[in-house]
Amino acid sequence: MLTASSAGFGDYVYGQGFFEEITADPFRRWTADELIARSLPPFQNPQYNDPGQDWQYLHTGFVVLGAILEMVGKEPYDRLLREMILYPLGLRDTRLQFGTDVQRPVLHTLTLTDDKFEDSTFWNPSWVSWGALTSNVCDLGVWNRAFATGALLSQESRKEITAPVNVGLGENTASRYFGLGTIVYPPWIVQDASYWGMFTTIAYDPTTGISLEATASLSPASVVSSSPSKQIIWAVSKLLVPDHPLPGPGQP
């Protein structure tokens, strides 16, 4: 339920006053305990659902999962991540980011706040599911293929990741649903992220083995109605696999 975002927690991101706090002090480092507490009354997200009764992407669920992994693994989460995923896959330009010292070189990001664009490159990402991964396009390509093919997992676990466990909940249908930490547009396996003007999308087609990765940042001239990185991936998929491209803007 934690990885399927159906555990029923309130999402602290949409809780009372949270957005105002992170925009007032974008360099603040948040702890897991603080974030979990902000998902509970009196800050609880009004879109709260009973466990297993509906699906809604929950930042809180992934913070709780990280805390559980630390208890079970008896090591800090960032160390577990390096030892079990980053090092085995050779992802040397990827790391868990709790602070503001982003590894260089870095693609600068701009975000619109209070009707003005600000450089958000070095804002603290610790509130995003208790830290955020920084990487580059090359590492994203390795990760995309490894995740989609279950390179570090058994075939049984790999099947669970893309199983339609949430179909029928909320707006999820057989044509698009959230699996375990990923979106599935059969046959495409997709992960889509946005953060203060930065957009990243990766997509993998198991039928052809095609792996697509794109990242984009905004500029003051940007006109964005949806994720620009996803629009790039959609356009490229139409060229490479015209018989079953990734659904584009306005499509289910």
Radius of gyration of the chain (CA): 18
| 105 lies in some domain | yes
**What CATH code is carried by the domain that includes residue 150?**
3.40.710.10
pLDDT in tens, 3-19: 998 888 888 888 888 88
Does residue 175 contact residue 185 with C-beta atoms inside 8 Å? Answer: yes
Segments forming the whole domain that contains residue 110: 12-240
Number of domains in the chain: 1
pLDDT in tens, 194-224: 888 889 999 999 999 999 999 988 777 776 6
Give every CB contact of residue 26 below 8 A, 6+ residues apart in sequence: 120, 123, 124, 196
Q: For residue 24, give the amino acid letter.
A: A
Report the alpha-carbon distance of residue 190 to residue 215 in Å, rounded: 14
Angle CA 51–55–59, to nearest 5: 90
| 245 lies in some domain | no
| 155 lies in some domain | yes
pTM given for the model = 0.89
Report the alpha-carbon distance of residue 31 to residue 28 in Å, rounded: 10
Quickly list H helices, 25-76. Answer: 32-37, 59-73
DSSP state letters, 74-103: TS-HHHHHIIIIIHHHT-TT-EEE-SS-PP
Cβ-in-10-Å burial (0-12, 13-18, 19+) of 16 comes to middle
| 225 lies in some domain | yes
pLDDT in tens, 165-197: 888 887 788 888 999 989 999 999 999 888 888
The pLDDT score that the predictor gives to residue 201 is: 94
The residue that leads in pLDDT, 237 or 249, is 237
pLDDT at 36 over 60: yes
